[in-house]
Amino acid sequence: MRYLMRFSYDGSKFNGLQVQVEGSTIQGTIEEALTKINKKFVKLTATGRTDALVHAYNQYAHFDLDVLMSGSEVEKALNSLVGSYIYVKEVKEVANDFHARFDVQNKTYVYKINMGEYNPIEYDYVYQYCKILDIVKMKEASTYLLGKHNFKSFAKAKDLRESYERTIYDISFKENNNILEISFTGDGFLRYMVRNMVGFLIEVGSSKREAKEAITILNSQDRRCAGINVPANGLYLVDVVFKK
């Protein structure tokens, strides 16, 4: 039976989502719990990977179990096994051909920036930039990133693939008590893409670059043109919408 799981996690406590040779990972922790429940190895397939230090409010993944259990029973069992830094919000049965990665319609990420006084308590959860940014200029620059583009300039330099085309549907800004949150909704994101776009927007907001340089950067298809890569700790996967 196939299940879809919605869950959150504190990325600062793991070496990323994807299973690796060394270090504790979110996927590894959940697979270990599912294997105990199933009495046989269970593979977890998430909507996509998140790097070390990246958090999630609503990540999704599918898995198959041989044992017959309701979604709520699986949810309860998982939360008793995965520890304090992962929380399973919902588990429900889905069709056997459902795929958590390939059936994604769009994703939303948010990046959090502290423009005020340095806060060591929030270090793992908000980028401590600690300087005021010109949000009006950043909003202008973000308009050039909307729509369908080749985002190779904003991808990880060694992330080789056939296509770098992605569509950004919305970029929004919210500021409260000197914490700036920038939200991105798109049909998909390349590795480091959000963090590199935020890095460019920060350079615009600090008057180091002009908003219209986004056009030149996109056309260059060269990572070296896009500017800084901001730390992972300010990034959150907010939600995922699946195709109907």
Q: Can you give the CATH number for the domain in which 192 is found?
A: 3.30.70.660
How much is the pLDDT for 141?
A: 98
How much is the pLDDT for 239?
A: 97
Are residue 138 and residue 39 in the same domain, yes or no?
Answer: no
Are residue 117 and residue 230 in the same domain, yes or no?
Answer: yes
Of 71, 94, 117, the last residue of a domain is 94
- Please say whether the beta carbons of 202 and 115 come within 8 A: no
How much is the pLDDT for 90?
A: 98
Token readout for 243 is 């195709």
Are residue 135 and residue 190 in the same domain, yes or no?
Answer: yes
> Domain containing 226: what range?
105-242
Query: Into how many domains does the chain fold?
Result: 2
Of 66, 94, 122, the last residue of a domain is 94
- Listed in sequence order, the DSSP H helices in the chain are 26-38, 71-79, 135-143, 193-205, 213-220
Average pLDDT of the chain is 96
Are residue 128 and residue 71 in the same domain, yes or no?
Answer: no
- Partner residues linked to 168 by β-bridges: 147, 186
Are residue 85 and residue 130 in the same domain, yes or no?
Answer: no
How much is the pLDDT for 56?
A: 98
Per-residue pLDDT in tens (0 to 9) along the chain, 244 residues: 999 999 999 999 999 999 887 889 999 999 999 999 999 999 999 999 999 999 999 999 999 999 999 999 999 999 999 999 999 999 999 999 999 999 999 999 999 999 999 999 999 999 999 999 999 999 999 999 999 999 999 999 878 788 999 999 999 999 999 999 999 999 999 999 999 999 999 999 999 999 999 999 999 999 999 989 999 999 999 999 999 8
Token readout for 229 is 């890569």
Of 94, 121, 149, the last residue of a domain is 94
- Listed in sequence order, the DSSP H helices in 44-190 are 71-79, 135-143
- Please say whether the beta carbons of 116 and 222 come within 8 A: no
Residue 99 falls within a domain, yes or no? no
- Please say whether the beta carbons of 86 and 30 come within 8 A: yes
pLDDT digits 0-9 by tens, 26-65: 999 999 999 999 999 999 999 999 999 999 999 999 999 9
Residue 100 falls within a domain, yes or no? no
Q: Can you give the CATH number for the domain in which 18 is found?
A: 3.30.70.580
Catalytic residues: 51
Are residue 85 and residue 113 in the same domain, yes or no?
Answer: no
How much is the pLDDT for 35?
A: 98
